């Protein structure tokens, strides 16, 4: 541990990439606040963390008042909340020909509305508090419309757009970060029935995210680059060239 550990709040820390990120940040001397809905899972992750002073704050990002109360509690307790990382996300593979509107609503509620709920709750801190880092985990699935990727893709495209706006509005005062992973082997991707190129382990992803967030500068952290650069190139193509390539993946 460094002498004066800074505090990072991870929302979506009870499993997968968020849990691995918590472990990686703790190894680097950060003090963690872990959030998610599953209290027992959060306690399990907290037990694996190096260092001391970590805490748990169970919450649901769809519950705006409880997020606001959590922010208030953290503001009162922590000398300085230096990093807030929104990792919460859910996914269901779905084709547009078999839309399940209840699932669509849930995915948009967590992945996109959850981020807005967090921002609303953080307003006092963003307006009156010292500069802090605000990081949101989107996905390369949000770069461009992909086959069989809705509504997850739409939620992540919306999140990318939101974080870009944040960077324009608040980036000269706060450190805004966008995290764009490729495939990572978690319970979320267990549902996929297709080959996932260059898939990483949660530990590999957590380490990459931790290293990038602790760097003083940067906006988007996308990885693994041999995959995400291809996705970025596809996203830059004119529609006429993109459609035939994207249709091959149907
Ligand atoms: N795995 C990949 O290949 C991949 C690729 C790109 C982006 N991502 C993104 O990475 C993030 C982490 O996903 P993962 O793969 O690590 O999956 P995961 O293991 O299922 O983790 C998702 C996390 O989100 C939390 N969460 C879900 N709904 C929540 C809610 N309503 N309120 C609070 N927390 C909630 C979960 O905690 P509780 O269940 O305890 O609430 C869990 O900690 C997600 O945003 C995902 O979209 C993943």
Q: Provide CB contacts within 8 A for 38, sequence distance 6+.
A: 14, 15, 58
Contacts of residue 248, defined as CB under 8 A and 6 or more positions apart, other chains included, come to: none
> Does a structural domain hold residue 107?
yes
Q: List residues bridging with 94 in a β-sheet.
A: 149
Question: Looking at the domain assignment, is residue 207 inside a domain?
Answer: yes
> What Cα–Cα distance (Å) separates residue 37 from each residue in 56, 76, 191?
11, 22, 21
Residue 195, classified by CB atoms within 10 Å of its CB into exposed (0-12), middle (13-18) or buried (19+), is: exposed
C-alpha–C-alpha distance, residues 243 and 127, integer Å? 43
For the chain, 250 residues long, give each residue's pLDDT as a single digit of tens: 444 568 999 999 999 999 999 999 999 999 999 999 999 999 999 999 999 999 999 999 999 999 999 999 888 776 578 999 999 999 999 989 999 999 999 999 999 999 999 999 999 989 988 999 999 999 999 999 999 899 999 999 999 999 999 999 999 999 999 999 999 999 999 999 888 999 999 999 999 999 999 999 999 999 999 999 999 999 999 999 999 999 988 8
User: What confidence score (pLDDT) does residue 78 get?
Assistant: 60
pTM (global) more than 0.75: yes
Atom 24 in ligand 1: which residue has the minimum CA distance?
88
pLDDT at residue 2, rounded to an integer = 42
The residue whose C-alpha atom lies closest to atom 19 belonging to ligand 1 is 16
CATH number of the domain at 108, please.
Answer: 3.40.50.720
How many A from CA of 171 to the centre of ligand 1?
25
Residues 6+ apart with CB under 8 A from 7: 30, 31, 32, 33, 78, 79, 80, 81, 82, 83
96 belongs to a structural domain: yes
Q: Residue 48, exposed/middle/buried by CB under 10 A (0-12, 13-18, 19+)? A: exposed
Residue 193: what pLDDT? Answer: 86
Token pair 């830059």 in the structure block, residue: 236
| Model pLDDT, residue 80 | 75
Residue 155 lies in a domain: yes
1 within some domain: no
At 3 the pLDDT is 45
Closest ligand 1 atom number to CA of residue 12: 43
| Nearest-angstrom CA–CA distance, 118 and 68 | 8
Residue 2 lies in a domain: no
Residue 61 falls inside a structural domain: yes
Going from the Cα of 127 to the center of ligand 1, the distance in angstroms, rounded, reads 28
Predicted pLDDT at 158: 98
Q: Is residue 20 in a domain?
A: yes
pLDDT value at residue 1: 41
Nearest to 91 by CA among 81, 102, 103: 103
Q: Atom 45 of ligand 1 has which residue's CA nearest to it? A: 89
Question: What is the position in ligand 1's atom list of the atom closest to the CA of 38?
Answer: 40
Q: Which tokens is 107 given? A: 């995915």
- DSSP SS3 for 129: coil
Domain that holds residue 168: 7-247
Q: Using a 6 Å CB cutoff, which residues line ligand 1? A: 12-18, 36-38, 41, 60-62, 87-91, 110, 137, 139, 181, 183-184, 186-189
Give the number of domains in the chain: 1
């Amino acid at each position: 541990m460094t002498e004066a550990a800074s505090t990072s709040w991870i929302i979506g820390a009870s499993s997968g990439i968020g849990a691995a990120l918590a472990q990686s940040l703790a190894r680097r001397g950060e003090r963690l606040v872990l959030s998610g809905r599953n209290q027992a899972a959060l306690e399990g992750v907290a037990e694996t963390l190096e260092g001391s002073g970590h805490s748990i704050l169970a919450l649901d990002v769809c519950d705006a008042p409880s997020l606001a109360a959590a922010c208030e509690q953290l503001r009162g307790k922590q000398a300085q909340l230096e990093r807030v990382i929104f990792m919460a996300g859910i996914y269901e593979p779905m084709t547009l020909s078999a839309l399940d509107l209840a699932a669509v609503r849930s995915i948009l509620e967590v992945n996109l509305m959850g981020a807005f709920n967090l921002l609303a709750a953080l307003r006092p801190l963003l307006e009156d508090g010292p500069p802090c880092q605000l990081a949101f985990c989107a996905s390369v699935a949000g770069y461009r419309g992909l086959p069989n990727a809705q509504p997850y893709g739409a939620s992540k495209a919306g999140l990318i757009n939101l974080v870009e706006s944040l960077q324009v509005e608040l980036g000269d005062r706060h450190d805004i970060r966008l995290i764009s992973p490729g495939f990572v082997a978690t319970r979320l991707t267990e549902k996929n029935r297709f080959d996932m190129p260059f898939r990483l382990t949660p530990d590999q992803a957590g380490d990459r995210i931790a290293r990038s967030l602790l760097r003083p500068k940067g906006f988007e952290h996308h990885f693994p680059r041999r995959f995400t650069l291809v996705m970025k190139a596809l996203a830059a193509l004119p529609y006429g060239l993109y459609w035939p390539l994207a249709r091959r993946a149907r």
